[in-house]
């Protein structure tokens, strides 16, 4: 059963397609045009002028766009019908805006944005991508000169006739170059390997920043370190007042921490045993009187030896 206009207008995809077609018609450009077929809203034909100051600058190229049923959630597919020396004719193009890379497509872009990006991709290198190929500049200039006479069997007009109508509509609408759609930054990279290279570069930069932040945090902790274990007498620091700041690593955090530890050490803790109390005679385990007795016996023995030897 055929779909009635009332039923079709309730479809978000159909409403989106009709809105985009009206936008391109009401804001014409002298460099490109696109519109859906009367028999199928999901198939569009586009015509665009070659990029200035390039081997394609004198050319006009015709192509076909096929929208998926879930557009704009999924990207359209593109193919050129006019031989151009950059993309293979009548073969789907593998780019970041095409159906071959759904992960890079954004539903907010739309057909106009995709056409502007597709036009800018013509001056990039093919790099062996699907639907693209490299040839000499002379061949591309020759194909550009021949492109005006190309006639689409579906549209029934030549490229020269279509682009002339674009220029007339743009002149009547007083469209200026400032009104043109700008290519999003994400679409400046047409191929997946370039997108992945940009992503890898961003990840490497993020890892580098994380390492720098970690090193800065370690250095900050080192500056605020205060030694709490026993210190060798050979490297013992000069005694300081418990309430005076201690220069540790030259950092303000270390000085405050050392001052707090000094104040804590100045207040005796309950139940703590002082290590600075005078030593008692019995601390070494030998009574004092025994030491004195040994000394007296040594003196007496020395006197007896002298008496025997010298008769004193």
Q: How does pLDDT run across 63-115, given as a tens digit for each residue?
A: 999 999 999 999 899 999 999 999 989 988 877 676 555 777 888 889 999 99
- 119 and 158 Cβ atoms separated by less than 8 Å: no
- Total of domains in the chain: 1
How would residue 275 be classed by pLDDT, with cut points 50, 70 and 90? very low
Residues 126-159 as b or e (16 or more Cβ within 10 Å = b): beebebbeeeeeeebbbbbeebbebebeebeebb
Q: What is the pLDDT of residues 210-230, one digit of tens each?
A: 888 887 777 766 666 555 555
The tokens for 54 are: 């390039």
Long-range CB contacts for residues 141-146, cutoff 8 Å, separation at least 24: 141/55, 141/58, 143/59, 143/83, 143/84, 143/85, 144/50, 144/55, 144/56, 144/57, 144/58, 144/59, 144/84, 144/85, 145/58, 145/59, 146/83
Number of CB atoms found within 10 A of residue 200's CB: 10
Q: List, edge to edge, every strand of the sheet that includes 60-66.
A: 32-37, 40-49, 60-66, 77-80
In this structure, what are the phi and psi dihedrals at residue 157, rounded to the nearest 5 degrees?
-135, 155
Instruction: Name which residue leads in pLDDT, 7 or 208.
Output: 208
The domain in which residue 129 lies consists of: 6-200
**Helix boundaries (H) for the chain:** 5-9, 12-26, 110-121, 137-146, 159-172, 192-223, 252-266, 288-310
Whether 166 is a known active-site residue: answer no
Q: What is the CATH number of the domain that holds 193?
A: 3.10.110.10
CA distance 31 to 180: 10
Beta bridge mates, 33: 47
Between 66-80, 146-160, 242-256, the lowest mean confidence (pLDDT) is in 242-256
**5-31 confidence digits (pLDDT tens):** 444 557 899 999 999 999 999 999 999
For residue 122, give the 3-state DSSP assignment.
Answer: coil
Residue count of the chain: 312
Q: Which residue has the higher pLDDT, 213 or 4?
A: 213
Within a domain: residue 222? no
Among candidate residues 94, 152, 155, 174, the one labeled active-site is 94
- Helices 252-266, 192-223: axis angle to 10 degrees equals 40
Question: Does 219 fall in a domain?
Answer: no
> Would you say residue 148 has pLDDT above 80?
yes
Please give the C-alpha separations between residue 154 and each of 21, 62, 64, 312, in angstroms, as whole numbers.
Answer: 18, 11, 10, 148
80 Rama sector, left if φ>0, alpha if ψ -120 to 50, beta otherwise: beta
The region of weakest confidence among 39-53, 279-293, 295-309 is: 279-293
pLDDT at 243: 43
- Evaluate whether 181 touches 113 at the Cβ level (below 8 Å): yes
Could you tell me if residue 293 is inside a domain? no
Residue 201 or residue 237, greater confidence: 201
DSSP letter, residue 273 = P
CB 92 within 8 A of CB 98: yes
Question: Half-sphere exposure of 288 toward its Cβ, with a 13 Å CA cutoff?
Answer: 4
Q: Residue 160: CB partners within 8 Å, gap ≥ 6?
A: 60, 148, 149
């Amino acid at each position: 059963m055929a779909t009635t206009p009332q039923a079709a207008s309730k479809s978000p995809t159909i409403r989106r397609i009709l809105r985009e077609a009206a936008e391109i018609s009401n804001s014409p450009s002298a460099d490109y045009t696109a519109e859906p077929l009367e028999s199928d809203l999901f198939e569009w034909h586009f015509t665009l002028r070659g990029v200035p100051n390039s081997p394609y600058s004198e050319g006009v190229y015709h192509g076909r766009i096929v929208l998926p049923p879930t557009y704009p959630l999924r990207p359209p597919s593109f193919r050129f019908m006019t031989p151009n020396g950059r993309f293979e004719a009548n073969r789907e193009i593998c780019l970041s805006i095409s159906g071959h890379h759904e992960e890079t497509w954004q539903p907010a872009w739309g057909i106009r944005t995709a056409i502007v990006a597709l036009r800018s991709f013509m001056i990039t290198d093919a790099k062996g991508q699907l639907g693209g190929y490299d040839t000499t500049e002379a061949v591309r200039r020759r194909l550009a000169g021949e492109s005006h006479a190309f006639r689409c069997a579906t549209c029934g007009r030549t490229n020269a006739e279509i682009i002339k109508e674009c220029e007339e509509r743009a002149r009547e609408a007083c469209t200026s170059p400032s009104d043109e759609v700008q290519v999003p930054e994400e679409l400046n990279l047409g191929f997946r390997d370039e997108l992945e290279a940009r992503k890898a570069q961003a990840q490497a930069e993020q890892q580098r920043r994380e390492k720098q932040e970690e090193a800065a945090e370690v250095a900050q902790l080192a500056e605020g370190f205060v030694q709490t274990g026993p210190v060798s007498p050979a490297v013992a620091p000069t005694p300081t007042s418990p309430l005076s700041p201690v220069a540790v690593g030259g950092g303000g955090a270390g000085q405050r921490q050392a001052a707090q530890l000094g104040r804590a050490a100045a207040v005796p803790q309950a139940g703590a045993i002082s290590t600075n109390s005078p030593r008692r005679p019995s601390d070494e385990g030998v009574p004092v009187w025994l030491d004195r007795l040994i000394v007296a016996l040594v003196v007496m023995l020395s006197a007896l030896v002298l008496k025997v030897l010298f008769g004193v």
